[in-house]
Amino acid sequence: MFESIENLGMIEASAREFAQKHILPKVMEWDEAQHFPVDVMKELGKLGFLGVLVPHEYGGSGLGYQEYITILTEIGKVCGSIGLSVAAHNSLCTGHIMAFGNEVQKSKYLPLLASGEFIGAWGLTEANTGSDAMRMKCVAIKDGDHYVLNGSKNWITHGKSGDVAVVLARTGELLDSRGITAFIVERGTPGFRAGKKENKLGMRASETAEIIFEDCRVHESQVLGQVGDGFIQAMKVLDGGRISIAALSLGIAKGAYEASVKYAKEREQFGQPIANFQAISFKLADMATRIQAAELLTRQAADLKNNGKKVTEAGAMAKYYASEVCVYASNEAVQIFGGYGYTKDFPVEKYYRDSKLCTIGEGTSEIQKLVISRSILKEQ
């Protein structure tokens, strides 16, 4: 399944070392302040972690999805917020341009994104259209050789700090799957600005904000692919993006599990380590088993993606299961830590807060079940 176990091992070690040295010391400081560390993202860009899937000719690392999963898992084990930002940058903004951009667009933007010189954002969701994306109200009206964008997008990762955004806007009729178009919009374009930054339960160091368009003129050369293909493109981008969230979920789950094993061996009650008690050891056994199953689903989806095969069902299964395991593992971790698990002096309360977004972002668990069930019934 894996292209090179040795290569994966080197990448894993590199990601782990970076996370331990540059992220771990600041995790709680960033979380408390809701600070998005752009400087750390730039350093990740220098390592090649912001252009993991981008080919060498566009300044990327030219790696595959197995390596990508490994990087996200190692970062997620230390900080879900930074893992989320790396995932959104790679899979959504960069991934959309890589998959559907023309040669001029790819040559211009991919090197900037892969190096971390540009931070990427991706705008699909609106205040009243989360899962129901075809009812979007953000519109783009043709005016000569430009499109005029009006409306807003919500829950946008890097909505304030992003240098470039891929934005989905309606160019046709409401509910028409061929009536939505993708645009590349650079920060600084007149009429394009950031709005409210969200105050979140978890993933607090990953910036999430509204972006607003007021008579924002975007040249037709900034259209990604064909006019009207935006929704179809977005669904394909999300297929790959769901593998990202599965990998991030794995990282958070593994972080919570590893912290639990360590604590269970050290914490003593009734004259012995709590790991000796079946109530605790069985929790660890369940966590380990579910995490391994989630990883196998995620690695399988990555293998299909690497080989150019249809990944809609496999990606949805991986994202659905891994994200739910992430919530389960972090919840059990807090229970194992007891009262200490409820304090910010120990790491598991942050895993607990960060985990929930994984069941919501890039398609809720309910949407994943819808995707999976439709795929199953289509096969009959």
Closest by Cα among 322, 374, 375, 340 to 80: 322
Distance CA 241, CA 316 (A): 10
Distance CA 206, CA 83 (A): 9
341-351 as b/e: b if 16+ CB within 10 A: beeeebbbbbb
Amino acid identity, residue 270? F
Q: How many CB atoms sit inside 10 A of residue 81's CB?
A: 29
Per DSSP, what are the bridge partners of residue 209?
156, 197
- Residues in Cβ contact with 234 at an 8 Å cutoff, skipping those fewer than 6 apart: 96, 124, 133, 168, 180, 182
Amino acid identity, residue 235? M
8-state DSSP, 343 = S
Q: How many CB atoms sit inside 10 A of residue 61's CB?
A: 20
Are the C-beta atoms of residues 305 and 240 closer than 8 Å to each other?
yes
Catalytic residue among 198, 258, 362, 379: 362
Distance CA 223, CA 100 (A): 10
Are the C-beta atoms of residues 291 and 250 closer than 8 Å to each other?
yes
- Give yes or no: 207 in active site: no
The helix (run of H) or strand (run of E) holding residue 211 is: strand 208-219
Look-up: residue for tokens 């929790």?
A: 283
Q: How many CB atoms sit inside 10 A of residue 76's CB?
A: 31
Distance CA 335, CA 355 (A): 15
Between the two ends of the chain, the Cα-to-Cα distance in Å is: 28
* Residue numbers annotated as active site: 362
